[in-house]
Amino acid sequence: METDVPHVQVKFYTKQSRYSVPDTPFSVPATVQTDDLSSLINGLISEPLETETNLEFDFLVEGEFLRISLEKHLEQKNISTESVVEIEYVERHPAPRPEDSLNHDDWVSCVHSTGNKILTGCYDNTLRLWTTKGDSILTIPGHTQPVKCVSWIKNDSSDKQSFMSGSHDQTVLLWQWDEKSNEVDCVHSCRGHAGSVDCVAVDQSGQRFCSGSWDKMLKLWSAVINHDEEGPEEEENPKKKKKTSGQKVQTRVPMLTLSGHSEGVSAVAWLEEQEVCTASWDHTIRLWDLEKAAQKSSLQGNKVFLDMSYSPMNRLLVTGSSDRHVRLWDPRSSDGAIVKCSYTSHSGWVSSVAWSASNEHQFISGSYDNLMKLWDKRSPKAPLFNLVGHTDKILAVDWSIPTLMMSGGADNQLRLFQYDELKTSPGS
């Protein structure tokens, strides 16, 4: 006796109009998977495309990527196989390509990129400047202990650029780099923390920044570079003379100190002009009102938070934790379900996370399992890609340049991956 494979009625739609297909229900076997549906769409696309090769598509059912058979997906989502199932499809992103590996003398603990420049911090107490092509521009001594965090500051003048670095030595240094002469000055030394400075974040205006430390404190500072600022001067480290023009370093003190965390602060992000968010080893995420100098709210996690990234595009947070999970949070949620989704694939602590600068759905995570993973927030069951190459734990990731993903690790390498944005934007 023959057993009939059950069929499901489906309707396809896409926001990428050049790939649109007829708006009629199709009957497909319930056991179909992504590849089968991709072949079907290729056969249905009405206009012949320039390319001979078959395109690969991803399929969304109720906002989640299909990663198993349609039948199982519908079952898990409690969707009736009797009704017509609406399926959205999008062109699948190509895999990121390994581009380069930049060698350091010690662990690469932090990285931040802007334009065509990369700034890294290292456990040998130095900062390094690189081009996105992988050329070394400068190695900058100045800290007396490992550098734990770096950030570019908003730069108005094209040839003079400024950035900051926080260190295990309890200071944040503000630097100005003259690209033409390739000289760098340490202009301000921000003092006030009583523990390692593990995270910094500059506000939208580039005028202020926040720092979080192992001393459990969040501090607010001026990020303005001012060579004429009044204040106590520090003796300059003689090792820096050959790279700098010998300006005196001004000591700067915090504008505001906020306490509340019971363990070290591991990540900080600006949500609004007067609203900052912190994540901590005390298992909480806290929102702070800078105007009132007070904590607004606290979100309870269940493990140590090692990193956090905020996307202004979707207003959501992703966090990396010591329980190997990446989680998606809505910091303003009032319905109790603050954790929107968990992404489980790493086999070690998730040390670093970063949203894409140009795609509201995608983010990357780096882990002590030596892997960087590219995720789509609509695909909780599996990452889009595993990016391999590190031979030791990953300590930092960055995706500030849309076409370049970076990961720094305990193998003394900064690895770069090229990521091509899809030519087809919605509606094209």
pLDDT average, residue stretch 20-43: 92
CA distance 168 to 71: 53
What is the domain class of 7-91 according to CATH?
alpha beta
Q: Is pLDDT above 70 for 238?
A: no
Lowest mean pLDDT among 205-209, 383-387, 396-400, 424-428: 424-428
What pLDDT, on a 0 to 100 scale, did the predictor assign at position 264?
98
* Upper half-sphere CA count for residue 363 (Cβ side, 13 Å): 28
Let me know if domain 97-418 sits in CATH 2.130.10.10.
yes
CA–CA distance, 144 with 75 (Å, rounded to integer): 58
- Phi first, then psi: give them for residue 83, nearest 5 degrees: -85, 170
Helix, strand, coil content of the chain in percent (nearest 5): 5, 45, 45
> Rounded to an integer, what distance in angstroms lies between the CA atom of residue 248 and that of residue 231?
11
102-142 confidence digits (pLDDT tens) = 999 999 999 999 999 999 999 999 999 999 999 999 999 99
Residues 354 and 309 sit within 8 Å (Cβ to Cβ)? yes
> What are the residue ranges spanned by the domains of the chain?
7-91, 97-418
Residue 361 has pLDDT above 70, yes or no: yes
Cite the DSSP H helix spans in 205-301. Answer: none
Span 413-418, mean pLDDT? 98
pLDDT in the model for residue 164: 98
> Which tens digits make up the pLDDT trace of 59-97?
999 999 999 999 999 999 899 888 999 999 999 988 999
pLDDT at 425: 42
Q: What is the pTM of this model?
A: 0.91
- Say what the pLDDT of residue 244 is: 47
Residue of 97, 106, 101, 105 whose CA lies nearest to 118: 101
